[in-house]
Amino acid sequence: MLLIPAIDLQDGRCVRLRQGDLNDATIFSENPATIAEQWLDQGARRLHLVDLNGAVAGKPKNAAAIKAIVDTVAEEIPVQIGGGIRDLDTIEHYLDNGISYVIIGTAAVKDPGFLRDACSAFPGNIIVGLDARDGKVATDGWSKLTRHDVIDLARKFEDYGVESIIYTDIGRDGMLSGVNIEATVRLAQSVNIPIIASGGVTDLRDIEALCAVEHEGVEGAILGRSIYEGTLDFAAAQERADQLSAS
């Protein structure tokens, strides 16, 4: 089970949001690269970056902070990034500058042709982020709930060739309310590519619950508020996940 610390970037700082609300942000650091190094030192095997300003603007907005993080850790572990990725040039720029995986969210839902082109141009480097509430996909920073069924879209995007899917239960993200295991497993069972769980991870019990369904295709989890507020010790969580995966 791959546990992936999240670094959400807003105005060059590391923050965490509650349920995606840009007006409900907690600042955790003025220096995100220091945070990235901290997670690397604690045994992280991948980092998850979100350009929150970029997600709103539709183009990258935290270039200096992103570069500092990549310069700090990318030679040792992969870095994935999402937020405001709307064209192939942006993807190419990121991949040329040390990012390993690019996450496409809203644009994948609104412009499937773009996603198909991205998977064709950059095979193995494209991850889709699907954010859902009650099985329906949300877009535009979760402000718009679509009629798209998350499983139907996941199957379509798998056919396009995406590397994996990050599934976020938006009712739980940033709320420390536990992972929606049932919905995550249901999605994992419907496709043959890895599912990375996101949203609601609170403590070691959530990690153990995710490890118990790893065989269903739930291969990772993104950790946010829990590791910043201390309800979950990252190093201990990855160690426990490795124990369970080996058993």
The catalytic residues are 8, 131
| Alpha carbon distance 126, 102 (integer Å) | 5
**Mean pLDDT estimate for the chain:** 93
pLDDT band at 43 (very low <50, low <70, confident <90, very high): very high
Is there a contact between 221 and 209 (Cβ–Cβ < 8 Å)? Answer: no
Over the range 68-107, which residues count as b (16 or more CB within 10 Å of their CB) and which as e?
bbbebbbeebebbbbbbbbeeebbeebbeebbbbbbbbbb
Q: How far is CA 216 from CA 109, 186, 198, 205, in A?
A: 25, 9, 16, 18
What's the average model confidence in pLDDT over 182-202? 94
pLDDT band at 44 (very low <50, low <70, confident <90, very high): very high
pLDDT of 15: 93
Question: Is the pLDDT assigned to residue 171 strictly greater than 90?
Answer: no
pLDDT of 78: 98
Question: Is the pLDDT assigned to residue 174 strictly greater than 80?
Answer: no
Cα 109 vs. chain centroid, distance in angstroms? Answer: 16
| DSSP letter assigned to residue 77 | S
Among 105-109, 151-155, 160-164, 219-223, whose mean pLDDT is lowest? 105-109
